[in-house]
Amino acid sequence: MPPVLQELIAYWRSVGERVGRVPSLSDIGLMDIYKIAPRVFIADRIKTEDGAIRYRWRYWGTTLSRFAGVDVTGKYLDETHDEKANAAAMRFYEWALEQGEPHHFSQDVRVIGSQNTYWQYERVIVPLLDKTGQPRHILGVYVSEQEHQTSMAEPVSSETVAFS
């Protein structure tokens, strides 16, 4: 596992040990992990009035914006990912929240609108509690060996990401 992913897990575990439970969003300080913050995202689990579960991007680091070609902060997961990618991400996010454990994943990603090019990436997510102690936030970090390719910094025409 790449060091940047290990760093997030180590930080999350150290905060958890300090507070004696799964960390809450308020226990996390991006300045504590400033070296990896450009690769970090935070997603909030939201239950809609009709009972559906959605995730909204609270924070989307600058390296991720460059990688995807768009800043998705404030948007919903289902607005930024195709149906297959949304379902997969939600499954992993829900698992992490239910288990109270980190989740590691590696896959190819295709940013729609960027010449159908695929990039290999890895990511780790960890669950965070809300103010009431309920698991409601996902903190994650992405890394890709190809992230420094100039084509990845080009803006894309669509704000949808698809996973192969």
**Grouped pLDDT means (10 residues each) for the chain, 164 residues:** 94 98 96 94 96 95 84 90 86 97 83 55 94 97 68 36 38
| d(C-alpha 101, C-alpha 16), whole Å | 11
3-class DSSP assignment, residue 82? coil
pLDDT of residue 146: 60
d(CA 37, CA 33): 6
CATH number at residue 75: 3.30.450.20
The confidence score (pLDDT) of residue 158 equals: 34
Q: How many domains is the chain partitioned into structurally?
A: 1
Q: What per-residue confidence (pLDDT) applies to 66?
A: 84
Per-residue model confidence (pLDDT) at position 155: 34
Q: By residue range, what is the domain housing residue 143?
A: 3-163
Confidence (pTM): 0.83
Q: Is 34 exposed, middle or buried (0-12, 13-18, 19+ CB in 10 A)?
A: exposed
Check residue 82 and give its pLDDT. Answer: 79
Per-residue confidence (pLDDT) for residue 144, from 0 to 100: 79
Alpha-helix runs per DSSP H in the chain: 3-19, 62-68, 77-80, 83-99
3-class SS of residue 156 = coil
